[in-house]
Chain A
Amino acid sequence: GAVVSQHPSWVICKSGTSVKIECRSLDFQATTMFWYRQFPKQSLMLMATSNEGSKATYEQGVEKDKFLINHASLTLSTLTVTSAHPEDSSFYICSASGRPTVTDTQYFGPGTRLTVL
C-alpha cells in the first residue's frame, strides 16, 4: 500500500519551454504533498508543501512563479517548471502523506530527471 507514481521519469527540453511533472497517490488520499529537488551528491531539498485545495507553501529561495504547484485533488499534484533554463536541470521528486497511512511518514514517487538544453 501507499504507492506514489510520478511522471515522466525523465524529460529533456529546450531552454525557454515549460515542463509539467505529475505526482499521483494510487491507493491513499494524499492530504499533503511535497516537492523536493536534489542536486548531485546533495540532500533532498524541500521546495514546497501543498495541501489539497490550498495554495502551496514555498521554501525560502524557491520562486513560486518559476515552479508552479497545483494540488487540485486528493490524488494528484503537479509541478510545472516554467521557462526552464539549464540551471533548472535537476532531479525532482514528490512525496505524499495522508490517510490511511503511517502517521508522519512520507511516501515517495520515483522521481523525474529534468535536463534543460
Chain B
Amino acid sequence: ILNVEQSPQSLHVQEGDSTNFTCSFPSSNFYALHWYRWETAKSPEALFVMTLNGDEKKKGRISATLNTKEGYSYLYIKGSQPEDSATYLCASMKTSYDKVIFGPGTSLSVIP
C-alpha cells in the first residue's frame, strides 16, 4: 500500500467495553510508527512511537502492537471510558529524516 490507512473510520462503544482498531502502512523501508490521540478542540497528543517488529507499548488502559513485516499496528483500549472519546491517528515514517504520513484517523465515541 502506498498510503497509511486506518479502520474503522469511526466506532461507538459502551462505557466499559474494550475496543481496538487498525493502522496499515507500507511495510517496505519502515522506520517508525506513531499513534496520536486527538480530542476535539485540543492538540493531537503523542501516545506511542514504535520502531521494532513485535514491539508492544502500553500507557494506562491503552496499548499498541506493531508488525512491520506485514505493515500493521493495532491500538487497544481496555475498559473504554467517555474521556477516551477522540480521534486516534497513526502515522508512518520511512526514515528518520523522511516526512511523516498520517492516516485519516479512527473516531471513537464512548457512550456513558
Contacts and interface: CB of A to CB of B under 8 A. Distances in A.
B43 A105 contact: no
A28 to B, nearest CB: 13
B46 A105 contact: yes
A107 B46 contact: yes
A93 B36 CA distance: 14
A43 B103 contact: yes
B93 interface: yes
B100 A46 contact: yes
* A interface majority secondary structure: loop
A44 B102 contact: yes
B105 A102 contact: no
Given A102-B49, A104-B96, A44 B34 contact: no
Contact of B49 (A34, A43, A105, A107): A105
Contacts of B36: 108
Contacts of A106: 34, 46, 100
Given A110-B41, A110-B43, A43 B96 contact: no
B99 A105 contact: no
A109 B43 contact: yes
Interface string B79-104: 00000000001000100100111111
Interface string B20-51: 00000000000010101000011111100100
Given A34-B100, A45-B102, 5 more contacts: A36-B102, A41-B104, A102-B49, A109-B43, A110-B43
